[in-house]
Structure formats: C-alpha cells, structure tokens
Amino acid sequence: MVNQASTMPAAALTGKEVKGRSPWVDARRRFMRNKASVGGLIALILIGFIALFGDAIAQWSNEEIDFNVMGQALQLGGPSISNGHYFGTDDLGRDLYSRTLQGTRVSLMVGIVGAFIAVVVGTLYGAISGYVGGRTDQIMMRIVDILIAVPFMFVVILLLVMFGRSLFMLFFGIGMISWLNMARIVRGQTLSLKHKEFVEAAEATGVAPLTIILRHIVPNLLGIVAVYATLLVPEMILLESFISFLGLGVQEPLTSLGALISEGASTIYYGTIWQLGYPLLFFVITLFSFFFVGDGLRDAFDPKDR
C-alpha cells in the first residue's frame, strides 16, 4: 500500500503555504549585497538632506553680501565658523555655504526633472513604436535617427539663446532632447514583449491597443526604465553644468554647481581654493553616487543573475 503522506506536497504536510519571491524582492536583495551601490544610495540621501535642510543652520542667505569681506576673499573670505561663513565667501562677499546648497538643489532638480521628461516621452514613444510595428514603426524610428544625428548640445544652446535662459527652458531643452536613446531601448524590449502569452491573451479578448501598452507592456519595462533613469540623471547634471560653465545656464540670483565651479575656476589663481573645492566636492559625490546606484540597479535587474 502506497503511503499517501509521502506523496503529499511539503506545504500540505507542514500546513504552511510556500510562496515564491517576486522579481522585485530578488532585485532588492541583490542590490543590497552591492556595497558600492548601497554606499552611493546613502551618499545621495545625505546630499539630498543637506541640500534641502542645510539652510536651517546657515547664518547668511545665498544673496546676502558680507561687506566686511567683499573684495577681500583672499585675506578674509576663507571658511570660518566665527563669521558664519562655513565654506567661506565668493569674491563678492556672498556666503558660499548657502550658494553651494542652492546650487546642489538646482542641479539635482535639473537632473531629476530632465530625466523624468526623457523617461516618460521615450517610454511612451518607444512602446507605441514597437507595439504598432510596420510602417508606423519605421517612420517613428527614422525620426529618432534624424534627431540623434543632430548635436543635442547645439540644440539646447540654440533654444536657450532664442527663447531666453530660464530654468524652465533649460528643463524643456534637456528633457526633450534626451529621450531618444530611451525610445530605442524601450522599442527593442517591446518587440520581445508583444509576442508574450499575456499580451496575446489581452488582444484576443478585445483590449484596446493603448490599454495593452499602458497596462501590460509598460509595467513590464519598469526595471530597465528605472536603471536607465538612474544613469540618465548624472548625464543631465553634467549637461547642465557644462552649459552653466559656458555662462548659458541658470542666471542670477539662482546658481548651480556648474556655475559655482566656473566661478571658482576663474578665481583659483588668487588662492581661493574653497570657491572651487566645496562645489566640486558636492558635484563629484553626487555624480559618483548616481553612477554607483545605477550600476547596482543594472546588476540587480540583470536576468542572468536570477
């Protein structure tokens, strides 16, 4: 006689339900095992916290001028706790600590908003192109090829010169040019997803194509979209910093890390190392942290590691 207990599943014998881990849980565990990525995430949190709440301990605003050190940055404008200039002052006597925090906020905002615009536009464009296919796909991809051939730095600078050097135009120019590679990546992934069983089942039940794209295809692309978005943010920050370094970025009274680095580089010959050092430190830490986090997310979502 066959022992029925031996043929029963282990879950029935123990009285417990065996649940599989979701891909998101596995990705999180792989990410947490990457020490460099975790360190980058902690550094980003600290940088964001300091940029948002660091003004609470500032004794000078970013626009306020200390006339006691104005024009005397080499002798009196260095970092000092006693006069409230923790990072020193610039050559106009403005507090570098407050200006560095403001520059960090602006650079992070440009990077995050620009990456968000690029991800949204590129994801929708690439998903529609890949799912519809045929002549529509060919036309949409040829448009992308033509736009990629245009130097995007030239386009951004041209927009700023023609329509004014405002923060909104900087967001618009960077975001609307940087979605092209995202569209290509999403389109390639969509071509492989459109033949999956769950997509064909939705088509068989008469679900509208736009609904299939938004509810079935795009959610399955969130992993690769998150990875690319994380790597896109430092690219946006670098682009904004380069534009600000040329003097075409944000304008006074606003500032950014790129503008502060440009100002610090122009006065480095006078020995005011703090004017370049502190903004450059925030800039380097922010960029490397995003790169480490993006690299960790890429490894975490890599199907070969599952």
pLDDT per position as a tens digit, 273-303: 888 888 999 999 998 998 888 888 877 776 5
- In this structure, what token pair is assigned to residue 209? 């194509």
Place of tokens 């940029």: 51
- In this structure, what token pair is assigned to residue 22? 């979701």
Distance CA 90, CA 67 (A): 12
Task: Name the band, by pLDDT with cuts 50, 70 and 90, for residue 202.
Answer: confident
Distance CA 241, CA 103 (A): 10
The residues, ordered by sequence, that sit 6+ positions from 256 with a Cβ below 8 Å of its Cβ are 103, 106, 107, 110, 240, 241, 244, 249, 250
Distance CA 153, CA 219 (A): 32
pLDDT of residue 42: 94
Sequence length of the chain is 306
Range from 168-172, 196-200, 229-233, 282-286 that averages highest in pLDDT: 282-286
Distance CA 125, CA 131 (A): 10
How far is residue 160 CA from its own chain's centroid? 22
Distance CA 46, CA 194 (A): 41
User: Which neighbouring-strand residues pair with 94?
Assistant: 65
Does pLDDT of 135 surpass 70? yes
Q: Which residues of 248-279 are buried (b: 16+ CB within 10 A; e: fewer)?
A: ebbeeebbbbbbbbbbbeebeeeebebbbbbb
Nearest Cα residue to 90 out of 112, 70, 118, 117: 70
Measured CA angle at 99 (ends 93, 100), to 5 deg: 125
Mean of per-residue pLDDT scores for the chain: 79
Phi first, then psi, for residue 80 (nearest 5°) are -155, 135
Distance CA 270, CA 125 (A): 51
What domains lie within the chain, and their CATH numbers?
Answer: 34-52+84-301 (1.10.3720.10)
pLDDT of residue 303: 53
Does pLDDT of 246 surpass 50? yes
pLDDT of residue 23: 63
Q: Percent of the chain beyond pLDDT 70?
A: 85
Nearest Cα residue to 137 out of 201, 186, 178, 206: 186
Distance CA 100, CA 217 (A): 42
Question: What's this model's pTM, rounded to 2 decimal places?
Answer: 0.77
pLDDT of residue 70: 63
Between the CA of residue 215 and those of 120, 184, 192, 209, 246, what are the distances in Å?
Answer: 15, 20, 16, 10, 43
Average pLDDT over residues 154-181: 76
In tens, the pLDDT along 20-54 reads 556 667 777 887 888 888 998 999 999 999 999 98
Nearest Cα residue to 257 out of 21, 4, 51: 51
Using N-to-C axis directions, what is the helix angle for 134-149 and 180-193, rounded to 10°? 160
Which amino acid would we find at residue 179? W
Q: Are 282 and 257 in contact (CB under 8 A)?
A: yes
pLDDT of residue 45: 93
Average pLDDT over residues 199-213: 85
Nearest Cα residue to 260 out of 40, 62, 50: 62
